Structure 1
Amino acid sequence: MNSSSLISNNDLILEILSRLPSKSVTRFRCVSKLWASMLCSLYFKELFLTRSSAKPRLLFAIIENGDEDAEAGCGVWSFFSLPQLEYPYEQSPSTSLVVAAAEFHVRFSPDSLKINHYYNVRHCSCGYASGLFYIHGNRCQARPALICNPITGRYEILPERYTYRKAYSFFGFDPVEKQYKVLYMAYPYGPGRHRILTFGYGDMRWRKINCSLRHEVKSDGVCINGVLYYLGDASDSIHVSSDDVTLHYVIVCFDVRSEEFTFIEVERFCRLINYKGKLAVIYWEDDEDVYEICNGSKDLEKYLEENLEVDATNELHVWVLEDVEKQEWSRYAYTWTDDKFFRRHVSFAGATVLGEIVFSVRKYTPKQPFYVYYFNPERKTLQRVEIQGFGEAFKTSCSIRTFVNHVEDLNVNDLELLKSVHPPLEETDYEGNSDSE
């Protein structure tokens, strides 16, 4: 076979592989050194990103918390995904119901870590950055943190270190150096120092890092263009009053590459999302820090049931940070009434690349429909989408975290980063049937 035929055959192989899901591409890297080289080439990465398999997806992490005192069945995580709707209002009027099927990827609990999930960030941290997923649970359950590929099931457990039981940690990605980092922020009223770890090749170790502002963490983190953002409460450190309003909330901005902190003051409690590549804060008019009110109680559902009216006005505020240096915001407010939208049951999942704000039901209950909602700020319309495909493997209600814009970064070689492969759990499949004969 001459060299021109070989090149032609290789191009044909790459063309075929570019149309496969990323999970399959990862497997083909192991065929040979030649295939690994071809699939890590810039040409293939650009080709892959033009195919439908690389379009943004909704990622669902379903957590079976089980019995905290049990030796098994505690902290089992299952990952599903499906393509995000593109222009959902052109496919179907917002008054109708769209149905979509989720694809199952992996169900595991590596090394029996037993990481239960809590929506309170004081007890469980979850993070997503550039195709990888991060979990860090309560110290009483699991001191090690876990980074995994939610599609392939490959994972790595971070070096163990002492953490106070109210652990705060975040996951970020530097797109320039192609490095993932884990940031641990010590509880301001407990022992310990802030630490950071560069996740990657060679020995990983926790390094000390200093932050000039004492604050308590109030939200999960969101990483945008190499900067990690989260909400903090610095009321014990700063008191800036303006128009009889005391400003004590700050957005903590951590540059993943330089490892430097900066801060942006905000007027109130809010959530943070990536809105078309810019930081945005989002909140309801009557929003409040329910975790602080409940003081870490597991009775959050009861509180929401008793204190949030079903027919409450949905007045949504979105502030988009237009100029980081000048801290200038574009502010928008949207009000709509929709009887199929119950705020006490949903959480913010984020915004799609087209600017659709996505809400997701917070719990999955077997034999009951599960919904996500696409809100179009320009049209002020809400499209409900029923997600099917979770099956009946879950016998009780489960916590669920939904993430938008999942696309694996083929510029990152996760075969080098994630050296462990978890065998699939075999108790049940996702059609409600037993795998054993």
Structure 2
Amino acid sequence: MNAEVHHYQAAMEASPTRDLAHDGNPTRFIPFELTFEILSRLPAKPLIRFQSVSKLWFSIIRSKDFADSFLIRSKTRPRLLFSFQHFDSRQRFIFSAPEHHNNNNDEEEEKSSSTVIARHDMTISDLVYDINTRPVNGLVCCTRKLDSSSSSIAVCNPTTRQILKLPDVTPNGRDMYARLGYDPVEDQYKVLCVMMFDGFDSRRADNIEQEHFVFTLGSQQQEWRKVEIVQGDPYTSFKGGICINGAIYYVVLHKKIARFDVRSEKMEFIKAPEDEEDLEINAFCWTLINHKGRLGGINYRYFYHMRAWIQEEEESWNNMTGVVTSEWGDLLREISLYSTGEIHTGEVLLVPYRLESSKPFSVFYYDMIRESFRSGQVLGIADYEFRRRFHGFGKRNRGMRCFPGHIENIMFF
């Protein structure tokens, strides 16, 4: 454990502790290890408050050993992360809620539903950052294009309500993409920033001027480092992004997937899977997913017929196909949904594009193996008290972002 924790541990062992509620009354000594264990089992919200109880508790809660222990437990309690923007006040609200469990194992599963309560974790009010990809160990990468010559990138921790603003980048008129990655070997978080002329602009330019930069969180050199990508030609499209087992994946060139190794900072490109019927799948229509620790992709252009590919080896893919019943299919076409991945049960998450104040907010889950469908209601986001009384949202619809696999992380920047 860190030196500060050892210092206060030694002080605690040298003299008895004092009762915090009745100062002056000696209490029985509580071993440091027991205090550490008790605190590690508490929810994140009271832990943030308990930093002010004593110097010892502050040192424990702020220590890396404690944050690592807490993170291990948090991974057993995955949550959904919700984000939407209030345009008038230039604020972005971040909520989280437990992922819906599926306790039904009978033939009536398609009719099942459940309810969870969302919690307002934080509000980003200084700048309206965009959140385009799922969290990495509870940390969220946010981007904001200030103007044609400057863009801002930040890493946000909704649990501690902290925002770490990284040094500004200069795209010089180019499009800018940023993705957060985690290297479990070196225990490091890095942000990959790609700048290039994208889409229509790339077809008009002889040189797309593509550059790759990396920023390491917590390093002494607080600056962007340029990395050279030697494999393959420069690409002119960028879609999605997910971090799995120390690598950042995103879709490029419609039929390829880029794999950026966070530790070595090397890039390689993976060919999209081929299908006997369609000959070759357009990877740009995919949603990249984490399927039990393996890279996968979902194609859901037609909700009656959903397809998924799971990577077995470097360019070997396993194909899964599921057929949604006509009853659910008709409903989904009316709602207009999108997917950002799978939840802990292995079911595909489907989320409405819009948040409407006059209707209950629900998400949907599809099990491609069992071809079963269910819905889950989320309370606390579209409710009158939060939207109308406290923030004056009115009835205006809002764009909703929702990502699975979010976990609480009390790591402080």
TM-score (normalised: structure 2): 0.77
The answer for the alignment partner of 1:155 in structure 2 is 163
The answer as to 2:63 corresponding to 1:78 is no
Aligned pairs for 1:89-168 within 5 A = 89-90=104-105, 93-110=109-126, 113-115=127-129, 117=130, 125-140=132-147, 143-163=151-171, 164-168=173-177
- Aligned position for 2:195: 186
Q: Confirm or deny that 1:258 pairs with 2:280.
A: no
Q: What is the deviation of 1:313?
A: 5.3
Q: Work out whether 1:366 is the aligned partner of 2:357.
A: yes
8 Å CA contact 2:78, 2:99 repeated in 1: yes
C-alpha offsets along residues 100-151 of structure 1, whole Å, 9 cap, x if unaligned? Answer: 21111112223xx233x5xxxxxx7445211111111234297211211122
CA pair 54-154 structure 1, distance change in 2 beyond 3 A: farther
Q: Which 4+ residue blocks in structure 1 deviate beyond 6 angstroms? A: 1-7
- Measured after TM superposition, the shift of residue 96 of structure 1 is 3.8
3-state DSSP class of the match of 1:216?
coil
Indicate the residue corresponding to 2:235 in structure 1.
215
Other-structure match for 1:227: 247
Q: Distance in 2 between matches of 1:48 and 1:199?
A: 18
Q: What is the distance in 2 between the residues matched to 1:98 and 1:340?
A: 18
1:209-247 deviation per Cα after TM superposition (whole angstroms, max 9, x unaligned): 1223311233121000110000001xxxxxxxxxxxxxx
Matched letter for residue 238 of structure 2 = K
The letter for the 1-side match of 2:376 is: V
Select 1:200's aligned residue among 198, 202, 218: 218
Q: Which runs of 5+ in 1 are unaligned?
A: 67-72, 118-123, 234-247, 288-311, 418-437
| Pair 1:344–1:367, CA change in 2 (3 A) | closer
Deviation at 1:360, TM superposition (A): 1.1
RMSD between aligned residues: 2.9
Q: Is the 8 A contact 1:138 1:165 kept in 2?
A: no
Distance 1:41 1:143 in 2: 31
Q: Distance between the aligned counterparts of 1:342 and 1:7, measured in 2? A: 63
Cα distance in structure 2, aligned partners of 1:15 and 1:169: 37
| 1: CA distance, partners of 2:40 / 2:160 | 17
d(CA) in 2 for partners of 1:106, 1:192: 35
Partner of residue 24, structure 2: none
Is 1:171 equivalent to 2:180 in the alignment? yes
Q: Is 1:318 equivalent to 2:308 in the alignment? A: yes
Q: Do residues 333 (structure 1) and 309 (structure 2) align?
A: no
Give the letter aligned to residue 18 of structure 1.
S
Shift of 1:15: 4.5
Mapping of 1:294-309 within 5 angstroms?
A: none
> What residue in structure 2 maps to residue 427 of structure 1?
none
1:227 & 1:249 partners in 2: Cα distance? 19
Q: 1:7 to 1:181 in 2, by over 3 A?
A: farther
Q: CA deviation at 1:365?
A: 1.4
Distance in 2 (CA, whole Å) between partners of 1:149 and 1:43 is 16
Structure 1 letter corresponding to 2:121: H
CA-to-partner distance for each residue in 1:5-29, whole Å, 9 max, x for gaps? Answer: 9774545544443343223324434
Letter in 1 for 2:318: S
Q: 1:344 to 1:218 in 2, by over 3 A?
A: farther
Q: Distance in 2 between matches of 1:54 and 1:31?
A: 28
Cα shift at 1:37: 4.5
Q: Which residue of the other structure, out of 366, 371, 395, is the alignment partner of 1:380?
A: 371
- Tell me the residue number matched to 1:406: 406
Aligned-pair CA distance for 1:408: 3.0
Give the direction of change, closer, same or farther, for the CA distance of 1:41–1:105 in structure 2 (3 Å limit).
closer
3-state SS of 2:239 partner: coil
C-alpha separation in 1, matches of 2:312 and 2:136: 22
1:47 deviation in Å? 6.8
Deviates most, 177-186 or 341-350: 341-350
Change (3 A) 1:152 1:343: farther
Aligned: 1:281 with 2:297: yes
Matched position secondary structure for 1:220: strand
Amino acid at match of 2:288: L
**CA distance in structure 1 between the aligned counterparts of 2:47 and 2:355, rounded to whole angstroms:** 31
Q: Runs of 5+ in structure 2 lacking a partner? A: 1-11, 17-26, 203-207, 273-280
CA spacing shift, 1:343–1:105, aligned 2, 3 Å: same
Contact map agreement 2:92 2:128 (CA 8 A) in 1: no
Contact 1:145 1:157 in 2 (8 A): yes
Quick one: distance in 2 between partners of 1:400 and 1:375?
19
Opposite residue 308 of structure 2, the aligned amino acid is: V
Q: Report % sequence identity.
A: 28
Secondary structure of the 2:370 match is: coil
Mapped to 2, the partners of 1:278 and 1:345 lie a distance apart of: 28
- Per-residue CA deviation, residues 293-327 of structure 1 (Å, 9 max, x unaligned), is xxxxxxxxxxxxxxxxxxx6521111101113xx2
**Amino acid of the structure 1 residue aligned with 2:140:** F
Q: Is the 8 A contact 1:371 1:386 kept in 2?
A: yes
| Aligned mate of 1:20, from 30, 38, 42 | 42
Cα pair 1:321 1:329 within 8 Å, conserved: yes
Structure 1 CA distance for aligned equivalents of residues 45 and 187 of structure 2: 20
Q: C-alpha separation between the residues in 1 aligned to 2:323 and 2:348?
A: 14
Name the CA distance, whole Å, in 2 between partners of 1:78 and 1:313: 29
